[in-house]
Each structure stands twice: as C-alpha cells, then as structure tokens.
Structure 1
C-alpha cells in the first residue's frame, strides 16, 4: 500500500527540513525555574486533543502556543506549562504530541507532529517502543522531556520502511542511530 506524503513535506529535502527545525524559535522553558505552581485545568487527550475546563481547544494557533511552553519534569514525569515566573500542571493522558506523518531522506527520518512541527529522529530525538510486542506503541522524543506518539498510519509507514530494509530485527536507522521497533523485555 503506497503512501503519498503531503506536498509540503514531500517537496522538502533533508536540508530544508533541518533548516525548518532550526528556524523554530522556542522559549527556553528548561532554563526557567518558577517557584509558583498551580493547576492549568488543561488536559491533552491520548488522541492529541487539547482541553481546557473540559472543552476542546479548537484554535490550532493556541495549541501551538501552549505546546511551545511544555516541559516534563524528569523526576516525577509531571508535565507543566512554564513561563519565567509561573508554572502550571497539565494532565497528559499518553504523550504530549502525536506524530502524524513520516519521511525518509538521506539517512534521516523526519516526522510531522500534530502541531505542524518537524522533528528529525536521531541521537537528540530517539525513538522508543513500548507495550505489546505484537502491537507496540512507538514514541519520539521531541523536547524538554516531552514525546510524540506515532499515530497508526505513521506507525505503519515506519514499519513498512523497516521491513523494506530487511534484517532479523525490526529496526530503523536515522542520523546514524539505530532504533528497535520492538519493546524491550
């Protein structure tokens, strides 16, 4: 089953994708250490939908803005929306982002997220497999401890890519790093 990459990603080579990634200016949330903490009353559902007070956030620009402030505490796994003077907890049911598309170019795997960001898998953004070995969930490190879960169609693209490459283990290589698509025992 062939997959047609959307033109905006399909028309880009690895250098152009890397330039897009580099050009994205994000706040340095990992350097901010606010003392005040409260509950944002926000939630990111397992399907990637953002909610505030139980209602979906329907403006994509708002979701992108909030997503740029996400940070996950490595000590307890709690997700926060962080500003220089304040942080708010945010409930994340599974992963903070969803990977909705994939492209292979020149030995690198690029993923589009549900926030229209591009992430290139590699040493700084590893892939990991979790769950049932027969139907694993694949996660991509995005930034600040946050991850993207590959949606079903993107997981299928990645699995087909791995199978085309052959080998005994179901694995992929991106930017010189090899990632197993099988959960560790």
Structure 2
C-alpha cells in the first residue's frame, strides 16, 4: 500500500486522528541491519532541520522523508544512514528532527501532546517518547524522543507554547503532562 503524504497541519485533526497517524507510520527495520561501513554520505542536518548534500539544501520534502526513515543513531552517539547493504555517516548539528507543531488535547494529568516533525512524522509524547530539557549556555533546549535514540529539537514557537502550558497548568514543579507521563521543565542533571 503506498504511503500517503504526511499532514501539513495538525489543527484540522483530532488527537485520536493524530494518534492513529503516529501508529500507522511504518519504518524500515534499521536497528536490525548491520552492513559494512562504507564512508561518508556527504550529508548534514543543520540545527534548523534543513538537510544538505554536498553543501546544497535538499529541496524535495519526499527525499528528506525517505532519508529520515533510514537514519539511525549509533552506540557511539554518531548518526548513519543505513540500508541492508551499506552504512554511511551523516553529520547532525543538534538533533536530526525539529518538532514544528504541537496539538494539545485535555488539561493537567489528562493532557495529550501530539507533535508534527519537520519530516511530517507524528509523535505523541509519553513514557515511550519523553520530553527532556537540556541546560546549555544559551538557555534550555527542549527535546522530544522520536525513536531509537533519535530526538527532535522543539521549534521556538512550540517551546513557547509548551512553556506557557507548563507555567499555567498548576503542576509543581512546573512541567508538562502527556499520556500519563510528567516532564518537569528543569533540565536533567
């Protein structure tokens, strides 16, 4: 069955529809592929989520989605593009994905947070997909666990929306609830 293009806006979808899209996403079994390392892909993912090949941005969203589906984080922390027959290094400046939109349903402990990534992937925050905050010299950087050690940096607009939610939902310490899990705003030690 051909894959439908991802939605370009979560506002028209219910959270149940968002959850269904997240569950339906079928990805190649990259964790089970162990080909010989073949070198460098000459690709880079910039901090803003733009994918580059040999210094030029990849302009076709379908190509970026395809490459993102074969992206894997290695035990040493590096990133590779992997197929059953080859493995190529890829440079990632911060996180390989950017969460560009959030859909919030419910409030307090009953809240659900659904995220759309720059690749069109849909991720529901929860125990399997936690939100974490890293302390950096230029302030906290919020991340969403996507899969297999891969994370999404939350876009500034998404971060501001979630920070406002965390500061007004009455939790102590301030934080976010999603799918029964709590994520404090404080960076992990």
Distance 1:18 1:83 in 2: 28
How far does the alpha carbon of each residue in 1:137-185 deviate from its partner, in whole angstroms, 9 at most, with x for none? Answer: 0000111211000011000011111122023312111111111121123
After TM superposition, the structure 1 = structure 2 runs for residues 74-153 of structure 1, keeping only pairs within 5 Å, are 75-106=75-106, 107-132=111-136, 135-153=139-157
* Residue 133 (structure 1) shift: 9.0
Distance 2:27 2:40 in 1: 23
Distance 2:55 2:118 in 1: 20
Quote the residue 2:10 is aligned against: 9
Q: What's the RMSD between the two structures over aligned residues?
A: 1.8
Q: TM-score, normalised by structure 2?
A: 0.89
Give the gaps of 5 or more residues in structure 2: 1-6
Three-state SS of the structure 2 residue aligned to 1:104 is strand
Moved over 4 A (4+): none
After TM superposition, the structure 1 = structure 2 runs for residues 1-40 of structure 1, keeping only pairs within 5 Å, are 8-40=9-41
Q: 1:62 to 1:136 in 2, by over 3 A?
A: same
Q: TM-score, normalised by structure 1?
A: 0.91
Quote the residue 1:161 is aligned against: 165
Quote the residue 2:185 is aligned against: 181
Say if 2:70 is the partner of 1:69.
Answer: yes
* Residue 132 (structure 1) shift: 4.1
Given that 1:140 and 1:148 are in contact with CA atoms closer than 8 Å, whether structure 2 keeps it comes out as: yes
